Structure 1
Amino acid sequence: MPQAVGEMLEDRFGVNPHPVHLMKPQSAPLSLLAQIGKQIFYDQSLSASGRQSCASCHSPQHSYGPPNALSVQLGGAHGTQQGYRPPPSLAYLYRQANFSIGPDAPDMDVAPPSLTDAAQQAQGVTRAQKNAGVAPAAPAMVPQGGLFWDGRADTLQAQAMGPLFNPVEMANTSEAEVAHKLERGGYLEKLRKLFGPAVKSGSAMLVDEAMSAVSRYQIEDASFHAFDSKYDDWLEGKARLSQAELRGLRLFNDQDKANCAGCHLSQPGRDGLPPLFTDTQYEALGVPRNTQLAQNKDPRFYDMGLCGPYRQDLASQTQYCGMFLTPTLRNVANRQVFFHNGVYHDLKHVMDFYNLRDIAPERIYPRDASGKPQKYNDLPARYAANIDVADAPFDRKFGDKPAMSEQDIDDIIAFLKTLNDGYPQ
C-alpha cells in the first residue's frame, strides 16, 4: 500500500495501514504442576497472618497488580504493616531476561563477568538516548532485566519466594515454617507424586518445588500474558483507534514530545512478538518522596533501587543509585498506584510529573523553608547526576514550554487505555 494512502486511512478511519501477525503464546490446559501452583497462588494459609496470598497483592481482577489505591500494601504477622514498595504487576513477565549489565557476551563458552566487573566496564560509556520505540541495534551498557523494582530476582520462582519471608508481606520466619504449612495444605503429597520422595528430603526442597509450581502457573496461564488489548487488535488490523487514541499513539512515539516509547517499546519485534511496552532497563527519574510511607518517616532513609537497601550486591556501584526497573505499560490504566514509592495515584499526575519535573519543579516537589522547590528530594543530593535529564521530555530546562499540552496528555491517556487486556472480540 502506498505510504500516502496508508496515512490517509490511518488519519480518517483509525485503521493500521500496515497490519502485522503477532506471535502470541499458545493457549493450552494447565499442566499438573501449574495447577498446583494455581492453588498455592491463592492460598492465604501460607502467610503468617493467614489472610494474605500471592493474589492478595497481585489480583487477577486488577491485571495481577494491587487491588486498591494504597501506596503500598499491608502485610506482616498481623496484616497491619506497610510494605516497602507497591507490588508491580505479574503480567507479561514470561519474556523477562535475567538481570545483567551491558550486552550479551559474544562467546557463550566464556563465563560472563561479575556484576561488579560489568558495572565497572560500563562506567564512562555514554548512555544512548532513548527514542524510536524499538529496541536499539546494539544493547547499551546499562542495567536490564530481572524482577522486582530492583531486579534482584532472576526467575519467577525466586520472585515468588521473596514475599514468603518478607517481614512486611507474608512474614514467614523460616523455610521450615513454610514447609510445615505446605505439608498441612496437602501440597507435599501432590508434589511427591510429581517429583518422587526427594521432595520430602528437607524443607528447602519442598519450598523450592512449591515455588516452581507457582512460576509454572504464571508461565502457562494465558491470563498472565493475554495480548488481547485493543492495541493488539489494531496492530493486526482488527480494530480502529479513535482520533484521540491515534493522536495519543503518535505522541507516545514522538521522540521530541512525550517520548514514552523510548523506554516503553511500542512496536512488535522483527520476530512478530507483541511489544511488552518496556525495554526492561533501569532509570533514575527523580520522582518526589512519598511522605506517607512509614520507612520515609526517617529523613536519613532512602530507597535507592539498584544500590540498596533491599538489593545489596550493587551497593558500591553508586552510578546506579536511584535507578528502578521500567515496568510494562500494559494494563497501566487499570492501576491505581504508580512508581516504586507509590507517590502518584492516577495517570494525570504521572503525566504531569514527566511534563513539569524540570520546567516547573514547584508544581512537583515540596518547598524548603526558603520557598525553593526540593528537587529530586527522594534521592541523596550526591546522586542527582544519575537522574535522566537527556531524554525527552526531561531535556527541557526551567521555564521552557512544556513538551505536552493538556490536550496532548488527555490523548496519551486515551491511548494508554487501549493497552488494557480484555478488548471485546
Structure 2
Amino acid sequence: MPKTAHARFALALLSCLLAFGAAAQGAPPPAADEAGLTPRERLGKRIFEDRSLSRPAGVSCASCHDAATAFQGVNGSPVPAVARGSLPASLGKRNTPTIMYASFAPPFGFIDDKDEATGKVEKIPAGGQFLDGRAADLLAQFSGPLLDPLEMNAPSRAFAVEAIRDGAYAPLAREVYGDKLFDDTDAAFEKLAQAVVAYESSARFHPFASKFDDYLRGAAKLTPLEREGFALFKDPKKGNCLACHAGKEESRNPQDWLFTDFTYDALGGPKNPAIAATATAPDLGLCKRPGLDKVAPAGFDTASVCGAFKVPTLRNIAVTGPYLHNGAFTKLRDVVAFYATRDTDPARWFPKGEKFDDLPADYRGNVNTSEAPYDRKPGQKPRLSEKDVDAITAFLETLTDRPAGK
C-alpha cells in the first residue's frame, strides 16, 4: 500500500476511534439543525429547548419562542394573547414578544432625548429586555421565565443546574466550560445562562434575510405598493413610524434598520377582555419595573411612564401576532389602522366610548397624543387614508425573514 494511502487509512481510523470515544462518554453528536453553531451556542440551544427544566416537565423556552413564528408563540394557550405555562391552569399576563434581534437592545438605562423644536434635552428610558424592561439584558432575562410560576415554574436555579448536570447534554456543557462546571451551582447557572445568551445572539436570531434586506443590498425590488408604504412609513407628516421604529434613511446596511429605537411609549391600546389577570389589576408597564426609581435620574416622575411599553422591532411583524402588549389585535392591518384613526375615530376602537380604556383614568394623560399620526381630533381627517394603511401593511410584510436555507 502506498504511503499516502497508509496515511489516509490512519487518519480515517483515528477519526473513527475519536468518534467512538466521544459516543462512549455519552457526548451527543450535533443535530442537523445545529449546523453552523459554535459549541457554546449549541449548548445554549439545547438549554433553550430543554423541556425537563420546567415543573412539571414539558415546557421549554422554545415552547413560547417558536422558531416557526420568529421565536414568538403561546405554547398552545386557549387565549391567543398570552402563553400557557407548565401548570395546566397557568396563563401569562402579557403578550409574548419575539426574541429575534433582541440581542441588539442596549442594557436598560436612561438616554438623552432632544426635542428638535425647542432644543430641550431630557432623559428618557431605553433598552433592556421584556416589554417593561425589567431585565437589564439578555443574561438577566434568562431566569425570569424559568422561575416564574406562570411560565416554566422551576423551583430554583439549583434545580435547573442539577437537571442539566444529570441530563443528556451534560458532556457538552463540560466540553464548553470544563469538568468542574457543576462544582459551584451559582457559577454554573451563570455560565449556562451565558450559553443561552450566545445562542440568542447568534445569526439564527438575526439573519437579516427579509425581502427588505435584499432590497437594501440591491438584490430585490419593492413593488409599487410596498414602495409607497415605505415612503409613508418614513414621512414625518404621514405614518411617522421612524420616530420610534427607527432606521437610518441614508444607510443600505440592514443592521442600521432594526425598526426600533428601544425606547418606551404609551400607545393607549384598547383593553383585551380575554386577559383575566388585568380585569382587576391593569398592566401599567414600565412604571412597575422593579427598581426603576433607583436607576432613574433625579427628579424623574416614574408615574409619567405608567402605560408605557418598549417599542418592539417590526422585523417579522407579519408573523408575530397578536399585537400590542396585551394582544388586543390579531391582524396587522388593524394595528396600522389603529395608529391612523385612534384619535379621529375613537369609537371604532373603544366601543364603550371610554378612550384608552386599558389604563386607569389617572394615567391616560401619559398616552402619546402629540406626535403624528396621533395629533388629530375626533372628526378630523386622519393623516393616513385606508389606502395608505394598505400600503404600509404591504411594506411591513417585506420585513419577514426567509426560513433558514431558503
TM superposition score normalised by structure 2: 0.82
What is the match of residue 209 of structure 1? 191
What is the match of residue 311 of structure 1? 290
Residue of 327, 330, 347 corresponding to 1:362 = 347
Deviations 1:262-294 (A, max 9, x none): 111133676943310001110011111111112
What is the match of residue 255 of structure 1? 236
CA contact (8 A) 2:165 2:182 kept: no
Question: 3-state SS of the aligned residue for 1:395?
Answer: coil
Pairing 1:149–2:156 present: no
CA contact (8 A) 2:217 2:252 kept: no
Shift of the alpha carbon at 1:139? 8.0
What amino acid is the match of 1:286?
G
Question: 3-state SS of the aligned residue for 2:201?
Answer: helix
CA contact (8 A) 1:281 1:326 kept: yes
Question: 3-state SS of the aligned residue for 1:101?
Answer: strand
What is the match of residue 228 of structure 1? 209
CA contact (8 A) 1:269 1:275 kept: no
Rate the CA distance shift 1:128–1:327 in 2: closer, same or farther, 3 A: farther
What amino acid is the match of 1:325?
K
Shift of the alpha carbon at 1:148? 0.5
Structure number having the greater helix percentage = 2
What amino acid is the match of 2:350?
Y
Pairing 1:55–2:36 present: no
Question: 3-state SS of the aligned residue for 1:285?
Answer: coil
CA contact (8 A) 2:343 2:377 kept: yes
How far apart in 2 are the matches of 1:48 and 1:341?
26
TM superposition score normalised by structure 1: 0.79
Pairing 1:85–2:94 present: yes
Q: How many residues align?
A: 360
CA contact (8 A) 1:146 1:155 kept: yes
Rate the CA distance shift 1:127–1:337 in 2: closer, same or farther, 3 A: farther
Pairing 1:34–2:41 present: yes
Shift of the alpha carbon at 1:407? 1.0
Rate the CA distance shift 1:88–1:269 in 2: closer, same or farther, 3 A: farther
How far apart in 2 are the matches of 1:185 and 1:409?
51
Larger CA Rg, structure 1 vs 2: 2
How far apart in 2 are the matches of 1:208 and 1:91?
22
Structure 2 residues not aligned, in runs of 5+: 1-34, 295-300
How far apart in 1 are the matches of 2:390 and 2:396?
10
CA contact (8 A) 2:114 2:120 kept: no
Shift of the alpha carbon at 1:152? 1.5
How far apart in 2 are the matches of 1:291 and 1:269?
43
Question: 3-state SS of the aligned residue for 1:102?
Answer: strand
What amino acid is the match of 1:40?
I
How far apart in 2 are the matches of 1:235 and 1:46?
41
How far apart in 2 are the matches of 1:142 and 1:258?
23
What is the match of residue 337 of structure 1? 322
Q: Which has the higher contact order (CA 8 A, sep 6+)?
A: 1
Residue of 170, 178, 188 corresponding to 2:160 = 178
Shift of the alpha carbon at 1:187? 4.7
What is the match of residue 15 of structure 2? none
Deviations 1:4-42 (A, max 9, x none): xxxxxxxxxxxxxxxxxxxxxxxx932211111111111
Structure 1 residues not aligned, in runs of 5+: 1-27, 104-124, 130-136, 368-372
CA contact (8 A) 2:48 2:61 kept: yes
Shift of the alpha carbon at 1:127? 5.3
